[in-house]
Structure 1
Amino acid sequence: MDTTIATPLAAADPATHATNAPPAIENASRRQFVQGVTGLTLAFCLPASATLAAPAGAGKLAATGGAAAPPFEPNAFLRIGADDTVTVISKHLEMGQGTYTGLATIVAEELDADWAKVRIEGAPADAKRYNNLFWGPAQGTGGSTAMANSWEQLRNAGAAGRAMLVQAAAKKWKVPAAEITVKDGVVMHAASKRKERFGELVADAAKEAVPTGVTLKDPKDFRLVGKHAPRKDSADKTTGRAMFTQDMQMHGMLVAMVAHPPRFGAKVQRFDATRAKAIKGVVDVVEIPSGVAVLALDTWTAKKARDTLTVEWNDTNAFRLGSEEILARYKEMAKRPGLVAHQAGDTDAAFAKAAKKLSASYDFPYLAHAAMEPMNCVVARTETGCEVWNGEQLHTGDQYALAVVFGFKPEQVTIHMLYAGGSFGRRANTKSDYVVEAAQIVKASGTKAPVKLVWTREDDMRAGYYRPLFHHALEAALDAEGRLTGWRHRLVGQSILKGSPFESMMVKNGIDAVSVEGAANLPYAIPNMTVDLHTPDDIQVPVLWWRSVGSSHTAYSTEVFLDQVARAAGKDPVAMRMDLLDKHPRHRGVLKLAAEKAGWGKPLAAGAPGTRRGRGVAVHESFNSYVAQVAEVTVDAEGKLKVDRVVCAVDCGIAINPDNVRAQVEGAVGFALSAALHGEIELKDGQVVPGNFDAYPVLRIAEMPKVEVHIVPSAEKPTGIGEPGVPPLAPAVANAIAAATGKVPTRLPFSADDLKA
């Protein structure tokens, strides 16, 4: 059945493509549309704001014989309808990481809801109700904080709803509340054999006072947490009903595309839009701070017209360096001390007394986020402000940025959170770049029509933000018994936080915390250690957090170098790590589990003639989760690398959805391996070279290794899982390569030329 949700709209003005009422979504199942199914269309006249904010799958409304009872809403995170539907309001973005399912599980567990009747709705931008508790007065998703900051909050939300339903039933049945039980959305009293569904009690429950304190479940009584709970977004994504920004269609909507400068820092000198304006369907061409925007009636027309623009760029303040020049500059900077990020003991004395010294350096390229869904956003002016629809990751920041563009108060900016097709940090942009760009197009054009900004893959690759390029230099000192007595680690790379709203909190004494995370807090018991940092301030390449942020490069340098130290000391890499982690039981726990499951110490089966095989290990903590990985690789005589198997052990506290934990770690392995094998954003003369996946390949299915994920049982509070699986992969593979070939990869991505026999 093809279901459409619509709202009554005023007639559009053909001159401006504007309407006199807020825009509405007309969304049909993409899958059913493609199949050509002819069926019944149900049109419901709803308030525009309700329609626009409706989550995926909201077209299914139950027909009732009369006015339905108002829903029961005990708090900002829970709504129960008379039809027994339990709606969990998610303050966090679902971008494929399983947030919707995890948050729903927490609420449904304490509520004792019927999982089949639980649905999820994205929260609007409202930091007063939906702030990220780890971020203070700001709403947003990132840093693998969704489950961690919501755990107790949502348990209490579910428990409060349950208590009110129980109290309503107790009064209605005139029985003690203590004798009432709840299971799968049914409230029951065994002695009197009374029972009612949630929907039958909502009217009475709504009259109860919200409890100020509730009793939470003992974990031994969990029925959903830690068990199999099917994902809540899978069906809509499979059938095409899930609402992404690109699915948005509104009456009179225009589509915009932007010609961006080829170099960072360049500005428009002048442009000629004669050919673009001659294309049928083009409505306007306007200059904005980030380039020249074409507005058209559809995406293809906008792209055709954008590609015909003649733009002369002013490169006076443009960035002109290439990647190799940047790296050469970084290596020079690494020859002198930087700002100290961590100091323990007397490092100079340790090196002066050392029986053996080792040194190595490692280089990491710029990396694109390359999410499945390129950047996009819909912005519409309204009589009282503006409305925005997108895969919203940094609600509060974007709300304030849009308010500045339009001269509004932040509360006049309404943001509707849709699904996002990945992000890996890209949509949590402290500059709100693509969202602001969409608003600037609306402002510059003066249109009253809703505008959908669409970036192509090339825009996403060349006009986007990147994981910073970094250079690491390390030294180790060993005594006569092969004990690691001294450690120096110098890092050179751009700051992500400088100039952002997070600078005052996370940049101390010139040290960007995310530049050195995983290095400055190295868990190994090394008595004398110095970690310092150089942060160049004249590199104009826009940088941003990338999945696992600083740990994406610090884990590689520290774990690969530690293996080199172990070989020099004649020690087994796992045994040496276990000794150095004596005061870190959770690190040791995952390391021990991964090594046991991988068969560490047992010989690998021989490969094909002419090939070399090896096994490597790495362990790392990020976002308060602990992950160890053991990789098995095969390298042929020409240097071709095949990662055969990766065994992972993860300690993320209570695993709310074990299936999702495994899926996230498996996905992290693929994501990290893709970067290790192929990922590099190369700059030449200030211009980004790759524009699409032909020059920036992603992992092919044939390259994906067999992955095993083992979860450490834990009673600790849940921690992050979206990012922590990334950091150990590349170093584990590099250590396996070294075991197989004797060669240590010191530059990513891996090069076949470096691995030839």
Structure 2
Amino acid sequence: MSRQHPVATHDDRGVASASAFPCDRAANAVIAVPPDSTSRRNFLRIIAGGGGGLLLGVALPMLAPANEIVADNSTDGDFAPDAFIRIAPSGQVTFVMPRVEMGQGTYTSISMLIAEELEISLADVRLEHAPADDVLYRDPVIGSQITGASASIRGAWLPMRKAGATCRTLLVNAAAQSWNVDPSTCKAENGTVTHPPTGRRTTYGDLSGRAATLPIPQKVTLKDPHDFRLVGTPVKRLDSPDKVAGRAVFGIDVAVPGMLIATVAASPVVGGKLRAVDDRRARQITGVRQIVSIDNAVAVVADDMWAAKRGLSALKLEWDEGENAGFSNATLIARMEQAAASNGVIAQKIGDASAALRGNGKHIEARYELPFLAHATMEPMNCTVHVTPDSCDVWVGTQVPARAQETAAAITGLPKEKVKVHGQYLGGGFGRRLEVDYVTQSVSFARQVQGPVKFIWTREEDIQHDIPRTYYLNRLEAVLDARGMPLAWTHKVTGAAVMARYLPSTFKNGVDPDAVNGATNLLYAIPNVQINYVRVETPMPIGKWRGVGPTHNVFVVESFIDELANTAQKDPYEYRRSLLANQPRANTVLELAAQKAGWDQPLKAGRAGVRAGRGISVQFAFASYLSQVAEVEVDENGEVRIRRVVCAVDCGHVVNPDIVRAQIESGVIFGCSAVLWGKITFRNGRIEQGNFNDYRVMRINEAPAIEVHIVRSAEPPGGIGEAATSALFPAVGNAVAAATGKRIRKLPIDPALIKA
């Protein structure tokens, strides 16, 4: 794929940000920090300004290592002004990462924010995974220790800079005290403090002991963004060298002395129970040590994975499939159709859409359908556990360390402080590792085994026991005036309530915020809008999937906007521009994407029998504005090939442009897989897909050329890890419609329907 790096010169400073986490607008923001009321090594309160809330950064006098990312984790005598930074007398600096690293670049970007204010080179920094702690390492955007919702940099933007600035200020004050000079005459640079008038210089390590005795400063000054030397530059990923060299430890790589290996078979039907196990043949297999079971699953514990798999295959299992044995996609869709006949609850109402729809004008109706989707992370679910009578150690790659700790404590009956979660690198998350079902299961099994056990799901177990994105049914209606512009817009979303299960406090007045995210608060200027939500639950738990609510609603909204443009016989790009007159940032990315894609130029003719088309989309999601243009080819069999994707993004202040580009490219590829092939189907209560032969992902030879164009912005950072996936769906669907004249209202794209 192409990696082109042109940067537009737009600087949209006049629009109030919709980011969930504010940014300091002053050139030199002065942040108030309350005076120290206890030992400086016990508490540091960092106030997140402008509505960000209170972030507690509790400093640990002897911060226990979270993981062996670094060789030497000794903290004796270290200067630890908060929960994120440690400086040893030797001068070694350690950053404790409050978010997890699953390939999205958080470790590098967050380190850049701290190092920027601390005035230190990233080459001198070591990293640690944060331990489970829902107070110290809470994401201020989400409200708990979670890595997700494209919130990591939004939540880190102020707190991590403040942490670095506070530490820098203490070190400067320590040097000034030592030299008996005014701190304002001292300067921090590259891990040292200097006194230019006298030429004196000393290192952070030498200052660490004195700095540890000083009170927390009541005010710290953040750098003017114009003075940034790291933030905004394409710094190389800090985690890449270990990953390339094979030194990085993912959950599946964990090796603990005396560890056994286990693999698992859970009930093939959700809600089913294990009725009986005949394990006589399995016990005869060399290397098999133990067969353990819980109410809905069985595990074979062995010396290695091969023995465990052979043992599992040798088991004769009898299941009580329960009441969900008849569940299928067809039965669910029938229920959804019936439920969608009701109005459900109103999620948003502007004007009077019902009255407008009864008036004169051109009426358009559409029905859109989106499938269940699996996460299919590169690293299947796994968890290593060692349970003793008075402790529980869990080695796991998880997006929710505190939740993992809580479920392990609940299963073992131990207090939380007796449960230690050792965080690992994640071989993909995409929302799957926001769940703790695999941790709960592993701890439940491990209680029955002496010593540590690593539980590994096979790929089939991973896909067939996923917590998928739910099925969605959408009905839309609009009426156009004489100029072809929308007078009214209604959108009824029917589907399960993700947040009612995952975070019940957000489920209010019968509306699931995830289900309607991207359907409410349209960018477009439409005078009468009504969004309704109809809740239809599924037997299995459903969860977050990369792009969450916008993955389905942006597809529906942007596809329907294209339908309106076609009905009005107007260019889809120009039609959007006319509806975005009051959305300058959205219009900027729309125009940039169209310009870079050559929207006004005809597509080159392909080979005989192949039709080409170009489609466009624009969105505001995860506090970022993004537009995509997709170019596709459709052959005589209806097969779609995505040739090129051009993306323009305004994600506010960019911390690392290379990471932004990489996340856009990754999101595009993830979206390509889903829009062309992604679907999970149920039959007789079972997921029918089991591996990449029938749950297909895009291969490297199928990948489109991808161009990313970043708009310069002084706005607070937005999220970028999921945005490109959402925008890709409608861009491709609209391109196929342009090529074939057939509107894509159901995903994945079905070549047979296009051919017909």
Q: Match of 2:369? A: 363
The answer to whether the 8 A contact 1:617-1:736 is kept is: yes
Q: Match of 1:45? A: none
Q: Match of 2:437? A: 433
Q: 1:213 aligns with which of 207, 219, 224?
A: 219
The answer to whether the 8 A contact 2:67-2:423 is kept is: no
Q: Match of 2:635? A: 636
The answer to whether the 8 A contact 2:85-2:94 is kept is: yes
The answer to whether the 8 A contact 1:639-1:756 is kept is: yes
Instruction: Give 1:94 shift.
Output: 0.5
Instruction: Give 1:382 shift.
Output: 4.0
TM-score normalised to structure 1 length: 0.89
1:41-120 matches, within 5 Å, as: 53-56=66-69, 58-59=70-71, 70-120=77-127
**Aligned equivalents of 2:587 and 2:264: distance in 1?**
51
Structure 1 pair 69–348 and aligned structure 2 pair: CA distance change class (3 A): closer
SS in 2 for 1:650: strand
1:611 is the counterpart of 2:618: no
Instruction: Give 1:561 shift.
Output: 0.8
Report which structure shows greater RCO (CA 8 Å, sep ≥6). 2
**Aligned equivalents of 2:507 and 2:683: distance in 1?**
30
Instruction: Give 1:455 shift.
Output: 0.7
Structure 1 pair 547–69 and aligned structure 2 pair: CA distance change class (3 A): closer
Q: Match of 2:130? A: 123
SS in 2 for 1:499: helix
Percent identity over the alignment is: 43
Q: Write the letter of the residue equivalent to 2:491.
A: H
Select between 193-202 and 609-618 the one with higher mean Cα deviation: 193-202
SS in 2 for 1:550: helix
SS in 2 for 1:591: helix
In structure 1, stretches of 5+ residues that fail to align are 1-48, 62-66
Structure 1 pair 545–302 and aligned structure 2 pair: CA distance change class (3 A): same
**Aligned equivalents of 2:296 and 2:660: distance in 1?**
39
**Aligned equivalents of 1:279 and 1:213: distance in 2?**
67
**Aligned equivalents of 2:389 and 2:75: distance in 1?**
32
Instruction: Give 1:427 shift.
Output: 0.7
Q: 1:311 aligns with which of 302, 313, 317?
A: 317
Q: Match of 2:461? A: 459
**Aligned equivalents of 1:69 and 1:189: distance in 2?**
29
1:251 is the counterpart of 2:257: yes
1:267-306 matches, within 5 Å, as: 267-306=273-312
Q: 1:442 aligns with which of 441, 446, 459?
A: 446
Q: Match of 2:501? A: 499
SS in 1 for 2:198: coil
Instruction: Give 1:290 shift.
Output: 2.9
**Aligned equivalents of 2:360 and 2:292: distance in 1?**
65
Q: Match of 2:139? A: 132
Q: Write the letter of the residue equivalent to 1:517.
A: N
CA displacement, residues 373-426 of structure 1 (integer Å, 9 cap, x when unaligned): 111111112453312111121122222222111112223221111100011000
Structure 1 pair 713–629 and aligned structure 2 pair: CA distance change class (3 A): same
**Aligned equivalents of 1:714 and 1:574: distance in 2?**
23
1:470-549 matches, within 5 Å, as: 470-500=472-502, 502-504=503-505, 506-537=506-537, 539-549=538-548
Q: Write the letter of the residue equivalent to 1:495.
A: A
Q: Match of 1:143? A: 149
1:330-345 matches, within 5 Å, as: 330-345=336-351
Q: Write the letter of the residue equivalent to 1:724.
A: A
SS in 1 for 2:548: coil
TM-score normalised to structure 2 length: 0.89
The answer to whether the 8 A contact 1:745-1:754 is kept is: no
**Aligned equivalents of 2:325 and 2:103: distance in 1?**
35
The answer to whether the 8 A contact 2:90-2:205 is kept is: yes
**Aligned equivalents of 2:337 and 2:389: distance in 1?**
55
Q: Match of 2:17? A: none
Instruction: Give 1:151 shift.
Output: 1.3
Q: Match of 2:6? A: none
Instruction: Give 1:226 shift.
Output: 0.5
Q: CA RMSD in A?
A: 1.9
CA displacement, residues 626-677 of structure 1 (integer Å, 9 cap, x when unaligned): 1110111122222221211111111111111111001000100000011111
Instruction: Give 1:68 shift.
Output: 10
Q: 1:200 aligns with which of 180, 199, 206?
A: 206
The answer to whether the 8 A contact 1:68-1:82 is kept is: no
In structure 2, stretches of 5+ residues that fail to align are 1-61
Select between 679-688 and 96-105 the one with higher mean Cα deviation: 679-688
Q: Write the letter of the residue equivalent to 1:71.
A: D
Q: Match of 2:31? A: none
SS in 2 for 1:630: strand
Q: Match of 1:699? A: 698
**Aligned equivalents of 2:345 and 2:313: distance in 1?**
46
Select between 325-334 and 583-592 the one with higher mean Cα deviation: 325-334
**Aligned equivalents of 2:296 and 2:63: distance in 1?**
33
Q: Write the letter of the residue equivalent to 1:391.
A: G
Q: Write the letter of the residue equivalent to 1:475.
A: E
CA displacement, residues 183-221 of structure 1 (integer Å, 9 cap, x when unaligned): 222322222222233223222322322223200000000
**Aligned equivalents of 1:317 and 1:265: distance in 2?**
8
